[in-house]
């Protein structure tokens, strides 16, 4: 009896103590940041604010009366947001630009700092694109094993070359440019201003659960998000001594139009879907749904944005959302085969 009480107390203490300590540390962090940077004084640059999660981030910061710069390629959507939030935000300014173009990144930085009167407290890198095809389909690799021969007499071996390796390489370069190289380049441009002009600068990067655990049909997307995870993890440690905090946020599935930006689908099947309501577009839309997997149980973009703002306020290093996705990380340490099974099940690979 006594031993089971001792066991229960030990287990409770083992679980409760770290939770208690981390919640005390978090509370101290938010109080510290708010006292240094009140909400209505916070100068925030949101990269990728024309739709989805970034747009909701802009709305949340505007309602806190922050000073905002919103960045994306689709200028008309940014202007609509400026109209919507103009009277609510402390100030709001749109900067149009493509973050994969180095000259745009330089201009975005200079225009943003100009609009914010020379200083920045929070850089949120939310822009991103996805991939939705199985790798073998993208590269044109024949995976049927019906005609398997264990040796080949064909001296050219050309029948063993995939139909479209170039497509796979190009899609990979595109996705790495947006999800990894552009965040890196934005960071090097904004970091000096974050160090020099903020009392508690934050860089918040919107990654994905795909940056933690692989999933079928997402191979090149997972690669780009894993690269970002590694870079920003290490960077966070390097720049901590400057007072700048680096936080990575990894959401699960969120209900947005991200799949329409897929780098491995023809443009007509991707972006054009948003504006068209034709029968043909509807067919493509259902086809896209088939390719891309289900959004069942997805978070809303607003709930995700609230989590990202919280992660910035609390200066969390690595936030996963919704919270129960933490379980899959723990499970991945205990039983990787089970997590692989769950991922395959989610994407119809069982």
Q: Which is nearer to ligand NAP, 77 or 88 (CB)?
A: 77
Q: Which is nearer to ligand NAP, 98 or 137 (CB)?
A: 98
CA neighbor of 306 nearest in space, from 323, 294, 289, 293 = 323
Q: Which is nearer to ligand NAP, 108 or 200 (CB)?
A: 108
117 touches ligand NAP by CB under 6 A = no
Gap between the terminal Cα atoms of the chain: 46
Q: Is 250 helix (H, G, I), strand (E, B) or coil?
A: strand
66: tokens are 């922050």
128 touches ligand NAP by CB under 6 A = yes
Options 5-13, 36-44, 97-105, 164-172: segment touching ligand NAP (CB under 6 A): 97-105
CA neighbor of 46 nearest in space, from 130, 117, 127, 101 = 127
CA neighbor of 124 nearest in space, from 312, 303, 316 = 312
Residue 17 CB, shortest distance to ligand NAP, in Å, is: 31
73 touches ligand NAP by CB under 6 A = yes
Options 58-66, 196-204, 240-248, 252-260: segment touching ligand NAP (CB under 6 A): 252-260
Residue of 134, 201, 247, 251 that binds ligand NAP (CB under 6 A): 251
Sheet holding 122-125, edge to edge: 91-96, 67-72, 43-47, 122-125, 202-206, 245-251, 318-321
Q: Which is nearer to ligand NAP, 69 or 200 (CB)?
A: 69
Residue of 41, 63, 74, 289 that binds ligand NAP (CB under 6 A): 74
CA distances from 348 to 91, 221, 286 (A): 46, 18, 16
Q: Which is nearer to ligand NAP, 128 or 247 (CB)?
A: 128
Q: Distance between CA 99 and CA 128 in Å, rounded?
A: 10
Residue of 66, 68, 69, 127 that binds ligand NAP (CB under 6 A): 127
54 touches ligand NAP by CB under 6 A = yes
Residue of 29, 60, 80, 98 that binds ligand NAP (CB under 6 A): 98
286: tokens are 């259902």
321 touches ligand NAP by CB under 6 A = no
Residue 341 neighbours by CB under 8 Å, 6+ apart: 350
Q: Which is nearer to ligand NAP, 52 or 247 (CB)?
A: 52
261 touches ligand NAP by CB under 6 A = yes
Tell me how long the chain is: 350
Binding residues with ligand NAP: total (CB under 6 A): 27
How many Cβ atoms sit within 10 Å of the Cβ of residue 280?
Answer: 9
293 touches ligand NAP by CB under 6 A = no
Residue of 94, 132, 178, 309 that binds ligand NAP (CB under 6 A): 178
How many Cβ atoms sit within 10 Å of the Cβ of residue 123?
Answer: 30
How many Cβ atoms sit within 10 Å of the Cβ of residue 129?
Answer: 22
Residue 329 neighbours by CB under 8 Å, 6+ apart: 212, 213, 320
106 touches ligand NAP by CB under 6 A = no
| Contact residues: ligand NAP, CB under 6 A | 48-54, 72-74, 98-100, 126-129, 178, 206, 208, 251, 253-254, 256-258, 261
């Amino acid at each position: 009896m006594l031993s089971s009480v001792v066991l229960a107390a030990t287990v409770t203490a083992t679980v409760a103590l770290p939770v208690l300590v981390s919640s005390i540390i978090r509370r101290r962090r938010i109080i510290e940041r708010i006292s240094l940077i009140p909400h209505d004084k916070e100068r925030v640059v949101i990269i990728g604010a024309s739709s989805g999660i970034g747009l909701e981030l802009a709305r949340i910061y505007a309602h806190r009366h922050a000073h905002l710069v919103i960045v994306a390629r689709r200028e008309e959507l940014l202007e609509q947001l400026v109209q919507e939030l103009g009277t609510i935000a402390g100030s709001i300014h749109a900067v149009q630009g493509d973050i994969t173009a180095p000259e745009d990144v330089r201009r975005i930085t200079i225009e943003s700092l100009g609009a914010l009167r020379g200083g920045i407290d929070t850089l949120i890198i939310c822009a991103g694109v996805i991939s939705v095809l199985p790798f073998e389909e993208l590269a044109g690799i024949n995976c049927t094993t019906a005609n398997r021969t264990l040796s080949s007499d064909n001296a050219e071996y050309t029948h063993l070359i995939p139909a479209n390796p170039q497509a796979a390489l190009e899609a990979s370069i595109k996705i790495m440019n947006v999800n990894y190289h552009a965040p890196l380049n934005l960071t090097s441009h904004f970091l000096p201003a974050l160090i020099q002009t903020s009392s508690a600068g934050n860089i918040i990067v919107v990654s994905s659960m795909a940056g933690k655990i692989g999933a079928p049909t997402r191979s090149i997307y997972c690669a780009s998000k894993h690269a970002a995870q590694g870079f920003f993890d290490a960077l966070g440690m390097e720049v901590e001594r400057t007072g700048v905090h680096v936080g990575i946020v990894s959401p699960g599935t969120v209900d947005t139009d991200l799949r329409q930006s897929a780098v491995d689908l023809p443009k007509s099947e991707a972006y054009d879907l948003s504006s068209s309501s034709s029968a043909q577009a509807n067919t493509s839309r259902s086809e896209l749904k088939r390719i891309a997997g289900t959004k069942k149980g997805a978070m809303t973009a607003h709930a995700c944005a609230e989590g990202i703002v919280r992660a910035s306020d609390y200066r969390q290093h690595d936030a996963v959302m919704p919270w129960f996705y933490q379980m899959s990380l723990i499970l991945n340490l205990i039983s990787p085969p089970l997590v692989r099974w769950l991922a395959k099940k989610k994407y119809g690979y069982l």
